[in-house]
Amino acid sequence: MKFVKTTFAGLMISAAFATGAAAAECEITLRSSDTHPDGYPTVEGVKAMAAEVKEKTQGRICIEVFPSSQLGEEKDTIEQTQFGVIDMVRASFGSFNDIVPVTQIMSLPYLFTSPEHQHAVMDGPIGEEIAADFAEKDLIALAYYDGGARNFYNSQKPIRTVEDLKGMKFRVMQNDVFVDMMSALGANATPMPYGEVYSSIQTGVIDGAENNFPSYDSSGHAEVAKYFTLDQHLMVPELVAVSKTTWEKLSPEDQEILRTAAENSATLQRKLWAEQEKASEEKVIAAGSEVIKDVDKTAFIEAMAPVYEKYVTTPEAQDLVKRIQETQPAAQ
């Protein structure tokens, strides 16, 4: 059931950088957490950042990436990073629900219309404003990664319409927006950590979950929930953050090295992401998943209106949503 490293072997890139680093001992070692396995684009992104930091500090600063939730489930590792127990975390905005309220707005269904739209928003002034909100909660936002589009998958039947979802039970991330999203669709939300989803589908505690192709593939969920509906209801940004406690111990020069390496890693991660989305889609189809593309997407979008009514209430939130909707993707 567990994800095999060789699946993403074509995307492993860390060795290329690592060889350039001098042989000095690490004076500072930063522990970085990720829920995903080795070879996954987010893990490889932070590893590339680590290699660049090591090289530019002549081996003084090392970043050790702990994949596969070795340091805990996502929400726990975020808190540990806030308190400086862990130095770094790569996590979805969806997991910051109760810590950084603006992430709720950024997690609204159908807010982003394409990866390019999301890049334009996150790489512009809105991305900077959100970084300031994270900093207030002791998290230094260094890079925004791609998380693709999330889709419903289940073990029971093909879903094509909103009505098809009625009464079904889906795992969502532990986030109020996602719970309300499921209610708006007439389905039942079961919030739970990522690591519990496989067995919960397998034992019938839930009918399914929702995620992007690479997660559906690497988590093994495809093995237990073969009906995958391409409704693309969520595009949630992902974050690489450093604990403020750790950050303040670094010199301004070293902080700059980390920032630049993180930015460069985002460029790489986004490229790896696009490749992995395709590779995972092909892989799950070959393994027997049914990818349903004839989806009544307009009805899904319209059904989300109550979610916007509930969360986009203050003038600030309304302004943010408007600015996001008006942001144009950069010309290709």
Q: Name all contacts of 324-330 with Cβ < 8 Å and 24+ positions apart.
A: 324/111, 324/112, 324/121, 324/126, 325/111, 327/117, 327/120, 327/121, 327/124, 327/126, 328/117, 328/120, 329/114, 329/116, 329/117, 329/119, 329/120, 330/116, 330/119, 330/120
What 8-state DSSP symbol labels residue 147? -
Based on the shown chain and the rule CB under 6 A, indicate whether residue 91 belongs to the binding site for ligand GTR: yes
Of the candidates 50, 17, 102, 40, the one whose C-alpha atom is nearest the C-alpha of residue 242 is 50
* Closest CB to ligand GTR among residues 21, 268: 268
Q: Which of 44, 74, 217, 277 binds ligand GTR (CB under 6 A)?
A: 74
* Closest CB to ligand GTR among residues 57, 213: 213
* Closest CB to ligand GTR among residues 76, 296: 76
Binding mask 9-48 for ligand GTR (x = CB under 6 A): --------------------------x-------------
Smallest separation, CB 74 to ligand GTR (Å)? 5
* Closest CB to ligand GTR among residues 238, 277: 238
Based on the shown chain and the rule CB under 6 A, indicate whether residue 173 belongs to the binding site for ligand GTR: yes
Q: How far apart are the first and last CA of the chain?
A: 39
Based on the shown chain and the rule CB under 6 A, indicate whether residue 118 belongs to the binding site for ligand GTR: no
Length of the chain: 332
User: Given the rule CB under 6 A, which of 55-63, 86-94, 297-305, 319-327 is the region that contacts ligand GTR?
Assistant: 86-94
In 3-state terms, the chain is what percent helix, strand and coil (to 5)?
A: 50, 15, 35
Cβ burial, residue 60 (10 Å; 0-12/13-18/19+) = middle
Buried b (16+ CB within 10 A) or exposed e, 153-165: bbbeeebbebebb
Cα 194 → chain centroid: 12
Q: Is 170 left (phi over 0), alpha (psi -120 to 50) or beta?
A: beta
Based on the shown chain and the rule CB under 6 A, indicate whether residue 103 belongs to the binding site for ligand GTR: no
Q: Which residues contact 159 (CB under 8 A, 6 or more apart)?
A: 152, 165, 227, 229, 231, 292, 295
* Closest CB to ligand GTR among residues 33, 327: 33
Smallest separation, CB 253 to ligand GTR (Å)? 31
In whole angstroms, give the CA distance from residue 118 to residue 146. Answer: 9
> Which two three-digit tokens encode residue 168?
């079904």
Based on the shown chain and the rule CB under 6 A, indicate whether residue 147 belongs to the binding site for ligand GTR: yes
* Closest CB to ligand GTR among residues 97, 246: 97
Residues numbered 198-257 forming contacts with ligand GTR, rule: CB under 6 A: 211-212, 215, 238
Binding mask 265-304 for ligand GTR (x = CB under 6 A): ----------------------------------------
* Closest CB to ligand GTR among residues 57, 174: 174
* Closest CB to ligand GTR among residues 30, 91: 91
Residues numbered 177-196 forming contacts with ligand GTR, rule: CB under 6 A: 194
Query: Angle at CA 32, nearest 5°, toward 29 and 38?
Result: 115
Based on the shown chain and the rule CB under 6 A, indicate whether residue 97 belongs to the binding site for ligand GTR: no
Smallest separation, CB 147 to ligand GTR (Å)? 5
* Closest CB to ligand GTR among residues 95, 246: 95
- Interface with ligand GTR by CB under 6 A: which residues? 35, 74, 91-92, 94-95, 147, 173, 194, 211-212, 215, 238
